[in-house]
């Protein structure tokens, strides 16, 4: 039986969510599968991958052929690096502890890169929010200034009308006497 490591689509329309499965090559995309080894959510930034590393490594070493996207996911999670390092251990190039150190160093470096991406994205969001707040403050100040000018003009017109009314009453009062 030719086995494939492939993605099985789920989720709603325009919001895909995938399961990473081991399936017979002849089975349809969303059909019967042998084993589920993880999930992949491309809707987050960076994409979220939850993978049973040991089972994925077992299937890759057994000879299961991944699709292009599944290959990229497995490569990003370090399955192929670990396969490569295990091959070096089998050939006697280095021991198991050295292989694990190399893998842990690679994983730490990768995690640092992901953390940097998340920090930059959070910083960009904060800067955008600060710019929006500043623009809103300027807009509110401009509106408040226009309202103050309008109220001042209304107050001046009202005072003028009262002064004119007082002037008329003062002019009429001596004429009556």
Task: Quote the CA–CA distance of 164 and 32 in Å, as a whole number.
Answer: 93
What pLDDT score does 100 carry?
93
Task: Quote the CA–CA distance of 93 and 64 in Å, as a whole number.
Answer: 26
pLDDT band at 167 (very low <50, low <70, confident <90, very high): confident
Task: Quote the CA–CA distance of 127 and 141 in Å, as a whole number.
Answer: 21
Reported as a single tens digit per residue, the pLDDT across 63-74 is 999 999 999 999
pLDDT at 59 over 60: yes
- The whole-number average pLDDT for the span 124-153 is 93
What is the spatial order of strands in the sheet that 3-12 belongs to? 48-51, 35-41, 15-24, 3-12, 65-66
pLDDT at 162 over 90: no
Q: What are the DSSP calls for 35-57, one per residue?
A: EEEEEEETTSSSPEEEE-HHHHH
What pLDDT score does 165 carry?
84
φ, ψ dihedrals at 3, nearest 5°: -105, 150
Q: Which residue has the higher pLDDT, 120 or 168?
A: 120
CA count, 13 A, side-chain hemisphere, 43:
11
> Do residues 77 and 51 lie in contact, with contact meaning Cβ atoms separated by under 8 Å?
yes
Please count the residues of the chain: 177
Over the chain, what is the mean pLDDT? 91
């Amino acid at each position: 039986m030719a086995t494939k490591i492939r993605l099985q689509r789920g989720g709603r329309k325009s919001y895909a969510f995938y399961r990473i499965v081991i399936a017979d090559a002849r089975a349809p995309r969303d059909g019967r599968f042998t084993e589920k080894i993880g999930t992949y959510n491309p809707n987050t930034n960076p994409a979220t991958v939850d993978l049973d590393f040991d089972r994925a490594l077992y299937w890759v070493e057994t000879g299961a052929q991944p699709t292009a996207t599944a290959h990229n996911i497995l490569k990003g999670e370090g399955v192929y690096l670990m396969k490569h390092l295990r091959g070096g251990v089998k050939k006697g190039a280095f021991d198991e502890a050295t292989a694990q150190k190399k893998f842990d160093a690679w994983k730490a470096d990768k995690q640092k890169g992901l953390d940097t991406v998340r920090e930059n994205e959070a910083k960009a969001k904060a800067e955008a929010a600060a710019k929006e707040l500043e623009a809103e403050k300027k807009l509110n100040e401009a509106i408040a200034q226009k309202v103050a000018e309008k109220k001042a003009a209304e107050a001046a017109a009202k005072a003028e009308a009262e002064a004119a009314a007082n002037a008329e009453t003062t002019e009429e009062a001596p004429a009556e006497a």
